[in-house]
A and B are shown apart, each in its own frame.
Chain A
Amino acid sequence: MHRIRRLLAVVPLAVLVLLISGGTAWAAPGDPPVTLPWGNRQWIWFIAQLHLDLAAFILGAPIFIVISEIIGWWKQDTRFERLAREMTRVTVMAYSLTALFGGFFIFLLIGMYPKVTSFVVELYFPIWMMLYPVGFIIETVLIYTYNYTWDRWQGARKVWHIVTGVLLNIVGTLIMFGQNAIASFMLTPIQDYQNASLWELINNPTWWPLNIHRFIANITFGGFICGMVAAIMFLLAKRDEERAFYDWMGFIGNFIGLFSFAMLALPGYIFGKEIYAYDASLGIYMMSDRLSMYFEMQGILIGTSYLIGAYYIWTSMRRITKSERFAPFMKVGFGLILLANAIWITPRHWFATMNPPATVENPDLFIRLRELPAHLGFLALMPAKNTAAFASILVVFIAYVFYFVSIRRGEMTWGKINPTSQFALIYLAFAAIWTMGLMGAVRELARKYYHIYLVMPDLTNEAYTPTLGFASLMITLITLVFFALIGLSIWLGLRTHVAEPEAQDVSIPATGGSHA
């Protein structure tokens, strides 16, 4: 198992070498691009999203890893130190996988979409060929340094370790911002791109909205994944101290996840507004036309996430003595979340396009049976949706207030919790990844029949917008493979450490009893 771990560590290096050699390939975009059996679009979709999911994880996790390392150091709380330590182990494994899929992604781009790729590379040359590779090397050095110096840089040198962690986050975020420039350009390119400076290209209308949205979403995601890692370890744990620790870790991960999740609504809204302002027909395509049911799905996912998140708080409270008096209020809260979600997912009409399909014989009847009448139309508009979102956020917030009030008065033991709570944690991570896959698809599909909106049409036969049914299949597959990979990372990063006590980097001096 050490061998696998070492093997994975070599991956980023290998990818870099391949990248540089592959970089020459784009210079000569071949005319007949490669076509792969399952369809080029499916391949690029699958690999790109997988890479993105992993990248979100390795960017998001370190943010709160460092924060909890700092808290642990400040308050001398060994649990925070251990949480940070363990999540780092998982992150390092996932880092190699991210690089692996990133390399794969670039090869597919060069092979299957040489024209777009070379266009973008030329336009963003300094980012692609300088910032990205250099950033990638620095990030790799930092993350391995951060991981391997953990035990050595304790005590007086702890500060240096924390500084390394902070740098790791800064570099990672910069890399993401660089790539966001390209991703957002493809959706909202500035009109006069030929004469634009690099900065103008980068700072296109949706760059900042995307940056902020992704930054916060990565924290959410890191939190939920942390909760899931904890939940899995909790369920697999054999001893009470283990269970106590992982129970606590799940609580922290979920707390960070839900908290930043609630903050996501606003940047998401701003992102959408910017798209409308850039070109209303893009926004309409997303919210009212072909992609409208994708947003139904998003509503369902977010609604269930609030519901299950609140359920987790509920189970956390039930083990606190004397917390019963909050139970009725909590139940009302659940009712409110459900009501809010019912409003949230009420669409203008229950069909997937702006107009009834051409094949419908009696369009008037079709509409009458499926569309909100005028006096109820307000339910489909933004004010209603915003109120619903706000209500859900408020309920979760109040639930946490109840929790912290009860914990002051009552007593509780970490590790004694209804195991369903752990499945709630797993669901939250699962829904987060599914939602990312869904919104990733939306962001790509919103460009309609363009590789780069209005600049480069997509002339392949696969340029059409797939149905949500098909997208669901893709997203589900991607999500499952992602979790298989995270499972692998957990196993390599944590389970093998538990199983092999001789590995010298296991003993964390500060952790005390839990590893004894």
Chain B
Amino acid sequence: MLKSFFIALVVASAVFLITNFIGFPVIFSWVFVGFVFIGWLFLLLLDARPMAMPGRPLLSIVIFFLLASSVLFLIGNFVPQYDPREEIAKVKRLQSNFVKKELAAQQEALQAEMEAAGMQVAAAQPITTTEEATAAAPQAPSPELIAAGETVYNDFECYNCHKIGGKGGVKRRGPALDNVGGVLSADLVREKILDPTVFIAEGFEREYDKGVMPDTYSVQMAPDSVDALVAYLMSLQDSSVETPRPLDPDTGEPLQVQVAEAAPPAGAAEEAPAAAPEIGTEHMPEGWWTDPEIIAKGKEVYEGVANPEVNCSACHGRDGKPVLTGAADFRDPELVAGLSDTEWFNKVANGVPDTPMTAWGEKLTVEQIWQVIAYQNTFHTGGKPEVHQNP
């Protein structure tokens, strides 16, 4: 055994040196050395004298199970891991992305419905405002927005196929994006993310035809995630790295691109208070009763998304059907008709004494209170926004 051990040692050393010489990083060489010793142990096992029948078979079976379990468990913990805290933080970010995505989708549907019904869309401010904002007031995106965009880039794993600064997917799956801000316009970048068929990155015709770039981001990303991502990509203008030009998928000709001099602003959607600058506590601000964006924000408040400490739906029910016995039922038109704007505001802000309905004024801004009221006002109409008739 001693002799075979020395042979194993010699072989292991040789393996270590050779693999190192060929160019394997040390960690790989150690794994190969591990294999040599496993092989040695295995040869010992092969030539070992047959074992006697175990005296206590049941016990030895149980011990064997525990042994095998421990070995697998240890291997599972021994190989490299990542930090679960980072994963949890990522999930939290994605949660808010998904909630916003859902809200945006609802808002779009609402707007479509209103337009179909021939209603004036008052102060329509869809969350996807970048095009308009670009046209209105070009300004450089904030560093925060660019940083947020980098996070979106990582959270949605664009790095799996693209490289930036040499980092990313090892296989050449997609083009390097180091100079994407230099060869594409913000609109093209946005379009490419939302629909990869809009153009071909030159030199990647095969990948384009195979549909390698996922066409799922329009389903996955909330508008403000897209905004941030575009702002980040447009900030990449390292012309020393080649980022392919866009080609027209029909003609194969290069697309005409007006490369923006000042990088376009992206964060317009961040804070866009829709209307009336002056907001009192007596009356709903002008136009808010039917403003889809206000209603969407009200929904966020109502469902505890805006502020986790305030969740009206926990008692009044997500769809207006009270979950808590005794909570007011806002599907009842008479109840709504009986409340004036001011009363409504006061009850939300100051609560109803001696009932579970506490004063939410401490946790919500005046705007948020009006928003949630506007949303609450849609329960009795089956979801249709309507101007409240008891001012």
Contact = CB atoms under 8 A, between A and B. Distances in A.
B262 interface: no
A297 B46 contact: no
B81 A469 contact: yes
A355 B28 contact: no
A107 interface: no
B159 interface: yes
B25 to A, nearest CB: 5
A288 B160 contact: yes
B22 interface: yes
Contacts of B167: 355-356, 363
Contacts of A461: 88, 91-92, 95
B84 A476 contact: no
A359 B83 contact: yes
Contacts of B173: 280
B322 to A, nearest CB: 12
A82 interface: no
Interface in A343-382: 345-346, 348, 350-359, 363, 368-373, 375-377
Main secondary structure of the interface of A (DSSP, over half): helix
Interface in B1-52: 22-28, 31-32, 35, 38-39, 42-43, 45-46, 50-52
A285 interface: yes
B214 A419 contact: no
B197 interface: no
Contacts of A154: none
Interface stretch (B68-76, B224-232, B359-367): B68-76
Contact of B86 (A232, A334, A358, A457): A358
B388 interface: no
B323 interface: yes
B52 A235 contact: no
B218 to A, nearest CB: 10
Ordered nearest first, which 7 A-B pairs have the shortest CB separation?
Answer: A472-B76, A235-B57, A418-B50, A464-B87, A469-B77, A457-B98, A467-B81
B353 interface: no
B42 A334 contact: yes
Contact of B91 (A32, A449, A476, A483): A449
A449 B169 contact: no
Contacts of A289: 157, 160
Contacts of B159: 354-355
> For chain B, which range describes its interface: under 10, 10 to 19, 20 to 34, or 35 or more residues?
35 or more
Interface stretch (B58-66, B176-184, B327-335): B58-66
Contacts of A420: 45, 50-51
The main secondary structure of chain B at its interface with chain A is helix
Interface string B77-107: 1011111101110111011001100000000
A430 B67 CA distance: 11
A434 interface: yes
Contact of A354 (B88, B94, B160, B212): B160
Contacts of B98: 449, 457, 459
A454 B82 contact: no
25 contacts: A235-B54, A280-B161, A284-B161, A288-B170, A297-B79, A307-B42, A311-B42, A341-B35, A350-B28, A355-B168, A358-B86, A372-B24, A373-B23, A419-B52, A419-B54, A426-B64, A430-B65, A431-B68, A459-B99, A463-B95, A464-B87, A464-B90, A469-B81, A472-B76, A475-B76
A353 B45 CA distance: 37
A178 B169 CA distance: 37
Contacts, number: 196
A331 B46 contact: yes
Interface of B: 22-28, 31-32, 35, 38-39, 42-43, 45-46, 50-54, 57-58, 60-61, 64-65, 68-69, 72-73, 75-77, 79-84, 86-88, 90-92, 94-95, 98-99, 157, 159-161, 167-170, 173, 212, 214, 216, 219-220, 313-314, 317-318, 323
B24 A350 contact: no
A469 B77 CA distance: 4
A414 interface: no
Interface of A: 31-32, 232, 235-236, 279-281, 284-285, 288-290, 293, 296-297, 300-301, 307, 311, 314, 318, 331, 334-335, 338-339, 341-342, 345-346, 348, 350-359, 363, 368-373, 375-377, 418-420, 423, 426-427, 430-431, 434, 449, 454, 457, 459, 461, 463-473, 475-476, 479-480, 483
Contacts of A376: 22-24
B96 to A, nearest CB: 10
Nearest to A459: B95
Contacts of B220: 454
Given A297-B75, A300-B75, A331-B46, 6 more contacts: A31-B317, A235-B57, A289-B160, A318-B50, A351-B82, A352-B80
A418 B51 CA distance: 6
A331 B35 CA distance: 15
A288 B169 contact: yes
> Which of A307, A342, A431, A479: most chain B CB closer than 10 A?
A342
Given A293-B79, A457-B98, A354 B157 contact: yes
A281 B214 contact: yes
Given A358-B86, A461-B91, A235 B35 contact: no
A454 B28 CA distance: 38
B214 A483 contact: no
A352 B82 contact: yes
Given A348-B170, A418-B51, A342 B31 contact: yes
A146 to B, nearest CB: 29
Given A352-B82, A359-B83, A418-B51, A454 B219 contact: yes
Given A430-B65, A466-B84, A279 B214 contact: yes
Contact of A467 (B38, B84, B212, B313): B84
B125 to A, nearest CB: 25
A397 B280 CA distance: 84
A335 B8 CA distance: 13
A385 to B, nearest CB: 14
Contact of A352 (B24, B28, B79): B79
B37 to A, nearest CB: 11
Given A311-B46, A463-B91, A464-B88, A346 B28 contact: yes
A345 B35 CA distance: 11
A370 B76 CA distance: 18
Nearest to B83: A357
Contacts of B72: 301, 434, 472, 475-476
Contacts of B68: 426-427, 430-431
A306 to B, nearest CB: 12
Given A334-B46, A376-B24, A459-B98, A470 B84 contact: yes
A301 B65 CA distance: 15
A317 to B, nearest CB: 11
Contacts of B27: 350, 369-370
A472 B70 CA distance: 10
Contacts of B50: 318, 418-420
B36 to A, nearest CB: 9
A32 B323 CA distance: 10
A348 B169 CA distance: 11
Nearest to B92: A461
A449 B155 CA distance: 11
A500 to B, nearest CB: 19
Contact of B69 (A355, A363, A476): A476
A186 to B, nearest CB: 15
A142 to B, nearest CB: 32
B72 to A, nearest CB: 6
A352 B82 CA distance: 6
A459 B304 CA distance: 14
Nearest to A31: B318
A210 B180 CA distance: 40
B65 A235 contact: no
A418 B39 CA distance: 20
A362 to B, nearest CB: 13
B42 A338 contact: yes
